[in-house]
Amino acid sequence: MSNEITMYSADWCSDCRRSKRLLDSLEVEYTLIDVENEPSGASKVLEMTGGSQSIPVIVFSDGTHLVEPSDIDLKSKLISLSII
């Protein structure tokens, strides 16, 4: 199984910066999509969140995603997928 992770975020978003810091500190690779610079990314966020502009949205290889996850929830998800 691929460990591919995609994070939809924006530079101004403090929750996004926190999630990025956690992933970086755990040396987890991810693809970053800046919803401010990529309109298709913003549309995808709206689609996944049912119309909410909440970010970050972190998408995992198993097809699931987390919206504005706490560090604890994000780390638990990474462990459950055997990424860390």
- Domains of the chain, residue spans: 6-80
Spatial distance between the Cα atoms of 38 and 11, rounded to a whole number of angstroms: 13
Residue 1 confidence (pLDDT) above 50: no
In this predicted model, what pLDDT tens digit does every residue of 36-73 receive, in sequence order? 999 999 999 999 999 999 999 999 999 999 999 999 99
Q: Which residue has the higher pLDDT, 2 or 16?
A: 16
Arithmetic mean of pLDDT, 4-10: 97
pTM of the model: 0.94
Is residue 6 within 8 Å of residue 31, measured between CB atoms?
Answer: yes
- Alpha carbons 84 and 78: distance in angstroms, whole number: 6
pLDDT on residue 26: 97
**The architecture CATH gives domain 6-80:** 3-Layer(aba) Sandwich (3.40)
Kindly report the average pLDDT of the chain as a whole number.
95
Spatial neighbors of 36 by CB under 8 A, at least 6 apart, are: 10, 11, 12, 42
